[in-house]
């Protein structure tokens, strides 16, 4: 069974596997993340598009009926009240494909996660001194 597993090498490769409408949604999400976290490195982690800056920032993935957005448990906990209309868990939120992505909410989460990762990196640096 392991032989059938697709292994993506880039976010472009990941996005291109989906229908055109889903590709457009994934690409717009990617562009938003790049705009708000320009220093973040793009990579594939857990077979999902991932942005990394002093640790994992956010992941996202497309499924049959939704886009999964994974901003870690702190990204979910800090915006739980704003995402009450979406299905969520400790570290993920599902945005249905049949409605527009909530870009304002996603922007707030990304900004929060960037600040959180930068703060952790600064604290780690202070401990080394």
Q: Dump pLDDT digits (tens) for 71-98.
A: 999 999 999 999 999 999 999 999 999 9
pLDDT of residue 4: 52
Inter-residue contact 32 to 110 (CB < 8 Å): yes
Alpha helix ranges (H) inside 70-102: 72-77
104 confidence band (pLDDT: 50, 70, 90): very high
**What is the predicted pLDDT for the residue at 127?**
78
Structural domains in the chain, sorted by start: 2-128 (3.90.1150.200)
Confidence of residue 129 (pLDDT cuts 50, 70, 90): low
In this prediction, residues 8-28 reach a mean pLDDT of: 96
Q: Output the pTM of the full model.
A: 0.91
């Amino acid at each position: 069974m392991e032989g059938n597993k697709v292994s993506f090498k880039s976010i472009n490769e990941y996005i291109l596997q989906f229908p055109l409408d889903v590709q457009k949604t994934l690409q717009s999400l990617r562009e938003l993340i790049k705009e708000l976290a320009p220093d973040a490195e793009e990579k594939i982690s857990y077979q999902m598009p991932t942005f990394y800056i002093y640790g994992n920032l956010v992941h996202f993935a497309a499924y049959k009926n939704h886009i999964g957005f994974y901003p870690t448990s702190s990204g979910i906990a800090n915006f739980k009240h704003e995402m009450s209309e979406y299905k969520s868990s400790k570290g993920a939120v599902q945005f249905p494909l049949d409605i527009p992505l909530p870009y304002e909410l996603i922007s707030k989460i990304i900004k929060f996660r960037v600040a959180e990762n930068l703060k952790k990196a600064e604290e780690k640096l202070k401990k080394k001194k």
